Structure 1
Amino acid sequence: MNKAKITTFIFYTIFFTLLVGCKQSSTDWAFHFVVWNEDIYEIDKSVIVDVEKEIGTVKKYVENEGYYKGVFSNFVPKGTKLYKIKDINVNEAIAVELDGYYIEARNQGKYGE
């Protein structure tokens, strides 16, 4: 092999090694949340005392960033119950049941916008 072919071979070997080695397989979400009624609610972990009726259930737990539909969360597991907080409009905040407690999740607007 001549010097040009060896140099080209080394270049492409290093290039593809770096390309494959630097690929990010997954990314982290910016904050813990639950999506309900097409709105994203940031879970702030404040304990809520008074809840009213159940308004939904988390249908899917997601780990990787992406676009998903329905009721899902990157923090609480599938099956987690969601509740209306007494005297608070659901457009402002909801309660998420976690380990026997109700924690607040504040509305951050429409999911995906």
Structure 2
Amino acid sequence: MRKFVFLMSIFFAVSSFITLGTAHADWAHRFVVNDGKSYIVSDTQVESTQIGAKIGKVTSYSDEEGTYSGNFSNVYPKGTEYYAIKEISINEAIAIKQDDGSFIKAAYGSEYEGKAINLKTVLFYIGGLFLLIIVFMLVKNNWKRKRG
């Protein structure tokens, strides 16, 4: 019986640790970040004749909730290019190049305060360390019981 409880404790600890890191985001908008500015992606097409100079590209993608650094997107993969729209300030909107070569408009939303490490990540690793300590203590205690 003790062995069963011990094994179940380890299983619970490991499965809890794994599920802590797999929560996915439920962001209110599809967005991209360019040069510290967040843009909300629309469904508005931009004619190729209105496309100006390339201004950046996605350097980091994730669908997991958090705060990220660089030119981040929660919808577009790494490498997706951003362009200026002629006669519109990049403080108002930019164009995003789609896989098929068309362009879609993204309107300026706000400044984006990206960070390389966020609170969720720190809590995830602290929780994981705590669970590992518990498992170690259980194994050590079980080993001592068996020895005598």
- Matched position secondary structure for 1:34: strand
C-alpha distance in 1 between matches for 2:87 and 2:110 = 20
Q: 1:34 aligns with which of 32, 35, 43?
A: 32
- The residue number in structure 2 matching 1:6 is none
Residue aligning to 2:112: 111
Distance 1:27 1:83 in 2: 27
Question: Secondary structure at 2:33's aligned position in 1?
Answer: strand
Q: Matched residues in 2 for 1:25 and 1:86: separation?
A: 39
CA distance in 1, matches of 2:93, 2:25: 26
What TM-score do the two structures reach when normalised by structure 1? 0.75
> 8 Å contact 1:95–1:102 — kept in the other structure?
yes
Which structure shows the higher strand fraction?
A: 1
Residue 63 of structure 2 corresponds to residue 63 of structure 1: yes
Q: Does 1:95 align with 2:95?
A: yes
Residues in 2 aligned to 1:97 and 1:61: alpha-carbon distance in whole angstroms: 15
- Aligned-partner Cα distance in 2 for 1:112–1:36: 11
Give the residue type in structure 2 aligned to 1:26: H
Equivalences for residues 65-80 of structure 1 within 5 A: 65-80=65-80
1:85 CA displacement: 0.2
Distance apart, 1:112 and its partner CA: 3.8
Q: Is the 8 A contact 1:29 1:64 kept in 2?
A: no
Deviation at 1:45, TM superposition (A): 1.9
The TM-score normalised by the length of structure 2 is 0.58
Instruction: Tell me what 2:7 maps to.
Output: none
User: Aligned partner of 1:43: which letter?
Assistant: V
Looking at structure 2, the residues matched to 54 and 104 of structure 1 have their Cα atoms a distance apart, in angstroms, of 14
Identity, in percent, stands at 40
- Higher percent of residues as helix: 2
Work out the CA distance in 1 between the residues paired with 2:24 and 2:62: 12
Question: What is the alpha-carbon distance in structure 1 between the residues aligned to residue 105 and residue 86 of structure 2?
Answer: 12
Q: Which residue of 1 aligns with 2:42?
A: 44
The structure with more radius of gyration? 2
After the TM superposition, which parts of structure 1 deviate over 3 Å for at least 4 consecutive aligned residues?
none
Structure 1: gaps (5+ residues)? 1-15
